[in-house]
Chains A and B, each alone.
Chain A
Amino acid sequence: MEYLPNIIFAVILILGIGYFARNVQKLIRNIKLGQDVDVSENKSQRWKNTINIALGQSKLVKRPVSGFLHVIVYVGFIIINIEVLEIIIDGLFGTHRIGQELLPAALYGFLIGTFEVLAVLVLVSVTVFWIRRNVIKIKRFLSSEMKGWPKSDGNIILYFEVVLMGLFLIMNATDTVFQGANSGNVISQFIAPLFNGFSIEALHTVERIAWWLHIVGILTFLNYLYFSKHLHILLAFPNVYYGSVSPKGKFNNLDAVTAEVKLMMDPNADPFAAPPEGAEDEVPAKFGASDVMDLTKVQLLNAYTCTECGRCTSECPANLTGKKLSPRKIMMDTRDRLEEVGKNIDANKGEFKDDGKQLLGDYITNEELWACTTCNACVEACPVSINPLSIIMDMRRYLVMEQSAAPTELNTMMTNIENNGAPWPYNQMDRLNWKDE
């Protein structure tokens, strides 16, 4: 029975990582429901973006307060997780603080000391985040799409972090050997006196409980990610890499349309020609998007990456003037619908069964789509290169080209362009009249 803790640890570790891996597979499958998109251009710029925007958080710090606090939590989280390596080795091999044995005392002390300081900084930042969300009532956390689960989700993540940091510090404070070495216990030495009346055995028990809860907590948090907005801690990196490297004003030209326009403009094209061999089996291209499968893989990755910070919505001119459009809601709706489609596929043995629903109408309304000024404020604001505007545009394209459902005034404008090459009903031949007026 000597190895029982090791075995239990290994089982927990395998279950924790295994379940997460299974969900990651599901996530990848869902993203692959999207259309292919060419992301091969400008690889060097893509890497630069990944380093600056994702790793370097360059867009995040444009809002100094939340940006600075976020950097602390981010750096703290990454660095403190080095400690997890030691926990895993100890857990699997039954060692205790393997680092203390293997590393020079000064280095180990320095590392743990750094972790402890960061843990406190993370606790402070997370507390400020909680106050910002629940006490100060910052506008972007109060929008209608932030009611219910999204609000709880945001708070649960903060509680997770408080508990994990707390356990880490308690674990160190009650470790008599570590406290005895008196190196690196920069913070925990002040927590240790709280346990003054405890016997050695009791201290040891508290230490073990904190240690086990810490690793179980980390694995739980890892698995919580898939169900939460917090996936951005992993997906921000690929998302920024695959984000656009073109000027923001460049909207894609639909290839399916180009093919048809070329045919229409070709004087040698035979309008009565029979379709080429095999063409009758082809599904005609759908113009624009009405559901998640019509969007690209990158747009679906965008949806999973969104952490609902709401910087996009807080910069959106339509939202600022009371319109229903919220770019954040566009991303949340896209993810919700994608997960619904994913569950449908799970329930129907890997095949999607039409559920009579779609992203357009059931999640996102025409009113939201038509309120957009295509100003790119949301795209500019996103700290992880999400593009809500591209989804809005693809859905507008569906409305106009598949459903002819543009607002009347826009139909008039478009008819004018078709007839006389201007959005107003003026004669093409009068185009140079300004010269003589």
Chain B
Amino acid sequence: MSEEPKVPTMAEYMAEGKQPEILFWVGSAGSYDDRAKKITKAFVKILNKANVDFAVLGTEESNTGDVAKRAGNEFLFQMQAVMNIEVLNAYEVKRIVTCDPHSFNCIKNEYPGLGGHYEVIHHTQFIEQLIASGRLTLDGDVYKGKRITFHDPCYLGRANSVYDAPRDVLKKTNATLIEMKRHKGTALCCGAGGAQMFKDAEPGNKEINILRTEDALETKPEIIATGCPYCNTMMTDGVKFKEKEAEIKVMDIAELIANA
């Protein structure tokens, strides 16, 4: 890294009596998972480049409880939610951006019922806004003509009907966007949702991520773009299983844009 990334915390902002434009919710994967941390850093690079006045909760952030809720543990979910809401409300947070569609969905849809009301946006939506408002400019040559296919994360797409933002961002890179047969509303899950990420699959004849990777390979992509840290892991594993990792990269949209 040439330049130290600037990652201020809410506590630091509070000490200075300031309120950032937006809170970046990093999420558990984005904080601890080695692959997902790269996505987090790529997004920070974009935020810095566009001079976005943002902050993170840092060590005051805790797991959203989303995965506990999908596993059926409503108690644990609500405990986590109430704790996080207390912190967020204490900092008077109004807007939240996150790279994780699961956090996005959970905070946007399930926190309001427990007292947490925020405007929550997914990082692909935020990047789209940054480009549209001219705060972020892209080098149109990096991905020019490259074959990219986008895998819709369930909790961004079907769960919240966000289909266009990631595609619009990809088009801005001058890449050739090729849709898989199953896309948008009928996109196939990567296999990680509903707490599956943390357990072995039930007996069957195939892993879901392999089936989804086959969908992607049909488009003969150079890059498989994702918008979710879990999808990224599943698709990366799928590409490795198919021994295609030399030709095909699996990249989050934040990583694609950070390089463009």
Q: Which residue of B has the minimal Cβ distance to A261?
A: B78
Q: Are B192 and A373 in contact, CB atoms less than 8 angstroms apart?
A: yes
A379 to B105: give the CA distance in the assembly, Å: 17
Contact of A373 with B194 at beta-carbon distance under 8 Å, contacts A417-B65, A424-B32, A426-B32 already known: yes
Contacting residue for B186 out of A315, A370, A399, A435, CB 8 A:
A315
Additional 10 contacts, C-beta under 8 A, given A373-B154, A400-B73: A261-B82, A288-B74, A321-B211, A371-B201, A374-B194, A375-B193, A401-B72, A409-B199, A417-B68, A422-B62
Does A21 sit within 8 A of B, measured CB to CB? Answer: no
Sort A-B residue pairs by CB-CB distance and give the 6 closest, nearest first: A249-B159, A396-B72, A374-B194, A322-B205, A421-B62, A322-B204
Q: 18 A-B contacts, Cβ less than 8 Å apart?
A: A249-B155, A261-B78, A321-B201, A321-B205, A322-B206, A367-B203, A373-B208, A380-B185, A381-B186, A396-B71, A398-B72, A400-B72, A414-B68, A421-B62, A422-B32, A424-B33, A431-B59, A437-B37
- Asked if residues A371 and B58 are in contact (CB atoms below 8 Å), the reply is no
Contact A417 B63 (CB under 8 A): yes
Mark each residue of chain A from 207 to 240: 1 if its CB lies under 8 Å from any CB of chain B, else 0: 0000000000000000000000000000000000
Whether, in the assembled complex, B80 has its beta carbon less than 8 Å from a beta carbon of chain A, the answer is yes
Cα separation A64 to B40 with both chains bound (whole Å): 42
Which B residues between 146 and 180 are near A, CB-CB below 8 angstroms?
A: 154-155, 158-161
For A410, the chain B residues whose CB sits under 8 A away are 71, 195, 198-199
CA distance A201 to B186 in the complex (A): 60
Contacts of B80 in A (CB 8 A): 417, 421
Find chain B residues with CB under 8 A from A248 CB: 158-160
* Contact of B70 with A by CB under 8 A: yes
> What does DSSP make chain A's interface, helix, strand, loop or mixed?
helix
- B222 on the A face (CB < 8 A): no
Do A370 and B199 have beta carbons less than 8 Å apart? yes
Q: Is B237 close to A, CB under 8 A? A: no
What residue in chain B is nearest A250 (Cβ atoms)? B109
Residue numbers in B under 8 Å from A323 (CB-CB): 201-204
Chain B residues whose C-beta falls within 8 Å of the C-beta of A396 in the assembled complex: 71-72
Chain B residues, CB < 8 A from A250: 105, 109-110, 159
* Most chain B beta-carbon neighbours within 10 Å: one of A260, A261, A375: A375
B260 contacts the other chain (CB 8 A)? no
| Shortest Cβ distance from A257 into B: residue | B74
Q: Determine which residue in A372, A373, A429 has the highest number of CB atoms from chain B within 10 A of its CB, and name it.
A: A373
Are the C-beta atoms of A320 and B193 separated by less than 8 Å? no
List which A360-374 residues lie within 8 A (CB) of chain B: 367, 370-374
Interface membership of chain A positions 422-437, coded 1 if the CB is closer than 8 angstroms to chain B and 0 otherwise:
1110101111111101
Query: In this assembly, does A40 line the interface, its C-beta being within 8 Å of a C-beta of chain B?
Result: no
Question: Do A414 and B73 touch (CB < 8 A)?
Answer: yes
Query: Does A397 belong to the interface (CB within 8 Å)?
Result: yes
A-binding residues in B (CB < 8 A): 5, 7, 9, 26, 28, 30-33, 37, 40-41, 56, 58-59, 61-63, 65, 67-76, 78-80, 82, 105, 108-110, 113-114, 154-155, 158-161, 185-186, 188-189, 191-208, 210-212
Given contacts A373-B194, A376-B158, A414-B73, contact A321 B68 (CB under 8 A): no
A406 x B191 contact (CB < 8 A)? no
A413 at the interface (CB under 8 A from B): yes
Q: Does A9 contact B (CB under 8 A)?
A: no
User: Are A423 and B109 interface neighbours, CB within 8 A?
Assistant: no
Q: How far is the CB of A418 from chain B (nearest CB, A)?
A: 6
Determine the chain A residues whose CB is within 8 A of the CB of B9 once the complex forms: 432
Chain A's nearest CB lies how many Å from the CB of B170? 22
Q: Within 8 Å CB of B199, what residues of A?
A: 370, 407, 409-410, 413
B202-A261 in contact (CB<8A): no
- Residue pair A377, B71 in contact (C-beta under 8 Å): no
Q: Are A253 and B78 touching (Cβ within 8 A)?
A: yes
Indicate with 1 or 0, residue by residue over A387-412, a CB within 8 angstroms of chain B CB atoms: 00000010011111100001101101
A106 proximal to B (CB < 8 A): no
**A265: CB under 8 A from chain B?**
yes
The answer to whether A317 touches B70, judged by C-beta atoms less than 8 angstroms apart, is no
Q: Which residue from A324, A373, A379 sits with its C-beta under 8 Å from B196?
A: A373
Which residue of B has the minimal Cβ distance to A389?
B194
